Amino acid sequence: MRIGLAQINPTVGDIQGNAAKIARCIGQAKRSKVDLLVFSELALIGYPPRDLLYHESFLSEAKEALYRLNQQCGDVAVLLGSVRVAEDRLYNTAFLLDGGEITWQDKTLLPNYDVFDESRYFWSSERCGPMRFRGCNLGVHVCEDSWNDKDASSSRRYERDPIEELARQGVDIFINLSASPYHLEKGAQRRSIMGTIARKYGKPFLYVNQVGGNDELVFDGRSFLLDDEGALVAEAKDFEEDFLAFELENMAVMSPQIRTEGMAALEKALQMSIADYFAKTGFRQAVIGLSGGIDSAVTAALAVQALGSRNVLGVAMPSIYSSRESVEDAKRLAENLQIEFRVLPITPIFEPFVGSLSEGKYIMDLAEENLQARIRGNLLMTISNRENRLILTTGNKSEMAVGYCTMYGDMAGGLAVISDVPKTMIYQLAEHLNRDREVIPSAIIEKPPSAELRPGQLDTDSLPPYEILDPILSGLVENNRSVDEVVAEGYDRSTVERVFRMVQRNEYKRRQAPPGIRVTTRAFGSGRRYPIAQRWNPI
């Protein structure tokens, strides 16, 4: 039997566009003499569909598109993810389209943690059994169904184990339709779990993942085939669409892709997410405030990769507190990136504000600092409105965590590109972006970080050094550790308690931030839901 995998980038809600993409892959499968073509979880409607599932017309359109695809399959059988409706219940389903007939297997384990809330919409499968196809028993299951094996997973969240249920009934190959979001080192985690299952039951394992950016979530693809000993036979591209085909009875190694990890994977993830966010929302051009600092430099470099230099505008907005070197660094960056560059001094706007609010006196307090940021936000929003450019904000995760940002100022925009990238990682990413040539001027990387909102200001005036702050934040935010547990790792108690209070106090700011791209195990956004009006204080 010849099996193909189609790793596609669906657009959530674009059922007709996704169906057309699926049909093109079916055509390719026919030319490749494929017997069974496998797509990812909810490939027809896009993942995650969220509250689109509450619309009857959406569900009807998905059903009609599935039936039309069934008529186009010909001699190729198709295993495809979509939504199924039965007795007013919704199911996340793998459909087998074969010779005009449609059979299915519903998802059993519905994740309801982190960014996932599938039990809000779907019902769990009541049965889990192999699909019979041309003499083979296919162990078809959907995404989370693979993540509860007692020997493969470090933590088990469910009583049922669909893999064990399938194996007990006899399968020739496990097939997982997945929409598994990316975070750093996620690819290795997937291969480890699926490899353990393949070795445990002595059966090959086909894993087909979605690729593309959908709002805050990044899907890296990296679909793969493992043999019955868990060894990698073939691996699809990361962060790109791909198509692979293999013989089930003769699984020779097919020159697996070179795996991209670390900063190279992070670069690809952010670049693809920007490109997809623009393509799927209809924007073509971006505008970025260039301060001469490393955060805006990294954001601009990624935007150019995603959109092309002609579609990125950099704007420097110096104030009376901005150094001449910062404007020069921003200009040099723009020249390196070959993007349009404008300088809009904010002093002529800032001084009348000060005159109205403070009787013409510079008070140099926090309100005056924030006023400068908000003037810059207004200028960028005006450019955005007039020129139909989406603002890319430039705040990093460290700043977002402790509230070192200004509402309606540097937080104003449409997409927060690096809001899940800690400051120390920003420096690593900048060095990576400079691996072949100097994209980001060395002066930007080497200068001490500063918001330049008052004379001689440095980030360390308000925050612990990032080398200390970031590990503390990792413990508190990503690993959900207590203050005592973080202190036990060797950090000063007063510093940890201060950081904890800052994180708690600034939830209201993060709630008003633009969507950010999730690249760590726990980002601010739908995967971290804290109340604003609350008084819990464990310190």
Taking residue 308's Cβ as centre, other Cβ atoms within 10 Å add up to: 14
How many CB atoms are closer than 10 A to CB 198? 24
Contact predicate 227/174, CB 8 Å? no
- For residue 476, give every residue at least 6 positions away whose Cβ sits within 8 Å of its Cβ, in sequence order, or none: 483, 486, 496, 499, 500, 503
Q: Is the peptide bond before 318 cis (omega within 30 degrees of 0)?
A: no
The CA-CA-CA angle for residues 329, 332, 333, to 5°, reads: 85
From the candidates 25, 73, 128, 143, give the one annotated as an active-site residue: 143
| 81 assigned to a ligand binding site | no
186 in a labelled binding site: yes
- Helical H segments across 159-260, by residue range: 162-169, 186-201
113 is in an annotated binding site: yes
Q: Is 289 annotated as a binding residue?
A: yes
* Residue 30 designated active-site: no
- Residue 163 annotated as part of some ligand binding site: no
Is 296 annotated to bind a ligand? Reply is yes
Contact 122, 108 (CB under 8 A): no
Q: Is 277 marked as a binding-site residue?
A: no
* Single-letter amino acid, residue 80: L
Q: Among residues 25, 41, 128, 405, which one is catalytic?
A: 41
180 annotated as ligand-binding:
yes
Give the count of alpha carbons within 13 A of 277, CB side only. 26
Task: Please tell me whether 137 is known to bind a ligand.
Answer: no
164 is catalytic: no
Is 340 a known ligand-binding residue? no
- Which amino acid is residue 204, in one-letter code? P
**Residue 228 assigned ligand-binding role:** no
d(CA 313, CA 287): 5
Q: Which amino acid is at 263?
A: M
As a whole number of angstroms, the distance between CA 35 and CA 5 comes to: 11
364, 265 contact by CB (below 8 A): no
* Catalytic entry in 21, 25, 107, 118: 107
Q: Within 13 Å of residue 101, how many CA atoms lie on the same side as its CB?
A: 7
Say if residue 293 carries a ligand binding annotation.
yes
Vertex 92: Cα angle to 86 and 95 (nearest 5): 80
Buried b (16+ CB within 10 A) or exposed e, 452-489: bbbeebebeeebbebebbbbbbbbbbbeebebeebbee
Rounded Cα distance between 79 and 175, Å, is 10
431 is in an annotated binding site: no
Is 249 in the active site?
no
The rounded distance, in Å, linking the Cα atoms of 310 and 334 is 11
Collect all residues with Cβ–Cβ distance below 8 Å to 358 and sequence separation of at least 6: 368
List, as residue ranges, the binding site for deamido-NAD(+).
370, 399, 509
List, as residue ranges, the binding site.
113, 180, 186, 289-296, 370, 394, 399, 509
Active site residues: 41, 107, 143
List, as residue ranges, the binding site for ATP.
289-296, 394
List, as residue ranges, the binding site for L-glutamine.
113, 180, 186
